[in-house]
C-alpha cells in the first residue's frame, strides 16, 4: 500500500456509498435468518453446505481477519479460537475446523455471533470514517477490501439459502425455510409469471470478440473476471429462453437417465451410483422449495441440476451448452440476452480456468478465486437467490460438474 500521497480530509462519494452499502448488506444477512428456529441455525445437510450460523460468523471473520486486525489500530480480536472455526479455506491465515463438521458448532451461540457482528460493524464504520485521514492509495486499497468483503457476504447470502434448501429437503416434514411474500421462493413465483412464451433462437456472427472485465473500468469485479481479452468465436445461436420443466420432463420420458450414449462417462457413473432420475428437488409432480413442497409449473425453467445433466439434456436436444464467451457476447450485445439474470445460473461448456494474463489479488485474499481454477465449470448470469445488485455480464460463478444444490438451470446453444 502506498503512503506517499497527501492525506485527504473529506470522505469521497465512494467511501460514503460504502458506508450505506455496509449497513444494508450486513442487515440483509441477518434478515435471512429472522424466520428460522434456533435449531435451524446449526443445520448442515451435507459436507458441501454450511449452517446459517456459520455463514454469519464466517462473513464477520472475513472482515475482522482481512481489515480490522491488520488495519484498525487498537482492534481487539473477539476470540482467537474463532478464527479456527470460521476460516473457510485461507491457508495463508492458518489452520481451520473441518468443513464437514461445521454443524457440530453449537457454540459459540448465535447471540455471541450476533454481538460479534455488531462489534465488527462498528469497527468497520470507524475504519471507513478514518479513510479520509489516510494516504489516498492506502484509503483506496482499504475501500476495495471493504467492497470485497461486502461482495463476499452477498455470495454467502446466496449460499445460506442454497444450504438451507438442501438441509430442509432432508427433513420428512418438508418444512418451509423462507415462506413469506418477500422470500426467495415468492420472488421466483413472481418472476416465472413473466417468463416470455417465445422459444426462439438468436444468431450471432461470432468473429474476434473481447470478453472479461476491462481493468480501466473502476466498477467492482472479482479477480477471476479480468483481464479483458480476445476470443475467436465461430457463428453460433443461443436459445432465447432457459430450458423449461416441460422440456426436461420430455427428456426424462424419452429415457434420458437410462441412455448412456447421452452422458459423459463420469456423469453416467454418477447417474448409476446416486440413482439420479430427475433434478435434485423434483418430487413426483411437485418440487421441494424454500417455501416447502410446491407445484412445478411446466413452463418454469428447470432448476437444480448438475452440469452432467445439463450436458446430457443438450445432447439429447441436438444442441450443446454455450461457452462462457458466447454467453457474455450475447448478454452484452445490443439486443441483450433474455432471461440472463435473476432466474437461474446457467451452466456453460467452459471449464473454470484463468483468463490469459490473470493475476490473483495480492495477499491472502488472493486465495479467494484463483486456487479453485481446476475441475469445475463456469456458470453465467445470476439466480433468484442472488442479491439483486450482485450480478454482472462478466461474472464467473463456478461449481464442480456433479453439484446440484445451486439454483442452476441451462440455456441451449448450437452452431
Ligand atoms: Fe467465504
For the cut 80, the answer to whether the pLDDT of residue 13 exceeds it is no
Mean pLDDT of 385-403: 97
pLDDT of res. 93:
85
Domain boundaries, the chain: 18-169, 184-414
Query: How far, in Å, from the CA of 335 to the mean position of ligand 1?
Result: 35
Give the DSSP letter string of 177-219: SS-STTSHHHHHHHHHTT--S---EEEE--EEEEES--TT--S
pLDDT of res. 364:
84
Query: How far, in Å, from the CA of 51 to the mean position of ligand 1?
Result: 13
Query: How far, in Å, from the CA of 228 to the mean position of ligand 1?
Result: 25
The CATH class, in words, for 18-169 is: mainly alpha
Query: How far, in Å, from the CA of 88 to the mean position of ligand 1?
Result: 6
Provide the whole-model pTM: 0.95
- For 72-130, what is each residue's pLDDT tens digit? 999 999 999 999 999 998 888 889 999 999 999 999 999 999 999 999 999 999 999 99
Query: How far, in Å, from the CA of 348 to the mean position of ligand 1?
Result: 23
pLDDT of res. 14:
63
Mean pLDDT of 295-303: 97
Q: 164: closest CA among 146, 149, 185?
A: 185
Query: How far, in Å, from the CA of 146 to the mean position of ligand 1?
Result: 14
Q: CA-CA distance, 288 to 44, in Å (whole number)?
A: 17
Query: How far, in Å, from the CA of 152 to the mean position of ligand 1?
Result: 6
Query: How far, in Å, from the CA of 159 to the mean position of ligand 1?
Result: 9
- For 335-376, what is each residue's pLDDT tens digit? 999 999 999 999 999 999 999 999 998 888 888 889 999 999
Query: How far, in Å, from the CA of 340 to the mean position of ligand 1?
Result: 25
Maximum distance among all alpha carbons in the chain? 69
pLDDT of res. 194:
86
pLDDT of res. 12:
55
Query: How far, in Å, from the CA of 89 to the mean position of ligand 1?
Result: 8
Tell me: domain 184-414, CATH 3.30.365.10, correct? Answer: no
Cα–Cα distances (Å) from 295 to 66, 177, 191, 196, 278, in that order, read 44, 17, 15, 20, 15
Length of the chain: 415
Query: How far, in Å, from the CA of 86 to the mean position of ligand 1?
Result: 9
Query: How far, in Å, from the CA of 147 to the mean position of ligand 1?
Result: 14
Q: CA-CA distance, 213 to 226, in Å (whole number)?
A: 5
Three-point CA angle 181, 186, 187, nearest 5°? 110
Query: How far, in Å, from the CA of 338 to the mean position of ligand 1?
Result: 30
Which H or E run includes 231?
Answer: strand 229-233
Amino acid at each position: 500500500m502506498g503512503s506517499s500521497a497527501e492525506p485527504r480530509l473529506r470522505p469521497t462519494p465512494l467511501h460514503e456509498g460504502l458506508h450505506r452499502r455496509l449497513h444494508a448488506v450486513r442487515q440483509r444477512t441477518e434478515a435471512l435468518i429472522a424466520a428460522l428456529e434456533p435449531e435451524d441455525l446449526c443445520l448442515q445437510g451435507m459436507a458441501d453446505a454450511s449452517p446459517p450460523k456459520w455463514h454469519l460468523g464466517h462473513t464477520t471473520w472475513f472482515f475482522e481477519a482481512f481489515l480490522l486486525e491488520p488495519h484498525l489500530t487498537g482492534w481487539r480480536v473477539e476470540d482467537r479460537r474463532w478464527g479456527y472455526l470460521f476460516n473457510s479455506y485461507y491457508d495463508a491465515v492458518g489452520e481451520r475446523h473441518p468443513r464437514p463438521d461445521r454443524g457440530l458448532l453449537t457454540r459459540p451461540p448465535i447471540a455471541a455471533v450476533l454481538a460479534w457482528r455488531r462489534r465488527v460493524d462498528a469497527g468497520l464504520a470507524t475504519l471507513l470514517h478514518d479513510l479520509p485521514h489516510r494516504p489516498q492509495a492506502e484509503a483506496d486499497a482499504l475501500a476495495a477490501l471493504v467492497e470485497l468483503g461486502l461482495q463476499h457476504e452477498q455470495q454467502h447470502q446466496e449460499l445460506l439459502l442454497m444450504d438451507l434448501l438442501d438441509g430442509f429437503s432432508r427433513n420428512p416434514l418438508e418444512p418451509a425455510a423462507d415462506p413469506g411474500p418477500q422470500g426467495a421462493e415468492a420472488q421466483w413465483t413472481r418472476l416465472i409469471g413473466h417468463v416470455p412464451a417465445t422459444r426462439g433462437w438468436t444468431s450471432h456472427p461470432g468473429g474476434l470478440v473481447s470478453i472479461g472485465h476491462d481493468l480501466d473500468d473502476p466498477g467492482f469485479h472479482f479477480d477471476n473476471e479480468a483481464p479483458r481479452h480476445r476470443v475467436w468465436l465461430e457463428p453460433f445461436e443461443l436459445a432465447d429462453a432457459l430450458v423449461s420443466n416441460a422440456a426436461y420432463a420430455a427428456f426424462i420420458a424419452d429415457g434420458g437417465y437410462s441412455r448412456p450414449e447421452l452422458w459423459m462417462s463420469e456423469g453416467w457413473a454418477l447417474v448409476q451410483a446416486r440413482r439420479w432420475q430427475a433434478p435434485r428437488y423434483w418430487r413426483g409432480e411437485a418440487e421441494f422449495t424454500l417455501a416447502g413442497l410446491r407445484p412445478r409449473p411446466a413452463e418454469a425453467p428447470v432448476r437444480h441440476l448438475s452440469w452432467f445433466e445439463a450436458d446430457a439434456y443438450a445432447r439429447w436436444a441436438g444442441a450443446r451448452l454455450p461457452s462462457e464467451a458466447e454467453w457474455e457476447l450475447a448478454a452484452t450485445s445490443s439486443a441483450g440476452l433474455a432471461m440472463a439474470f435473476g432466474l437461474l445460473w446457467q451452466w456453460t461448456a467452459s471449464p473454470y480456468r484463468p483468463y490469459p494474463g490473470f493475476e490473483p489479488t495480492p495477499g491472502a485474499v488472493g486465495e479467494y478465486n484463483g486456487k479453485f481454477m481446476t475441475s469445475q465449470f463456469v456458470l453465467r448470469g445470476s439466480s433468484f437467490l442472488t442479491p439483486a445488485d450482485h450480478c454482472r455480464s462478466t461474472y464467473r460463478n463456478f461449481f464442480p460438474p456433479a453439484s446440484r444444490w445451486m439454483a442452476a438451470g441451462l440455456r441451449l446453444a448450437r452452431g
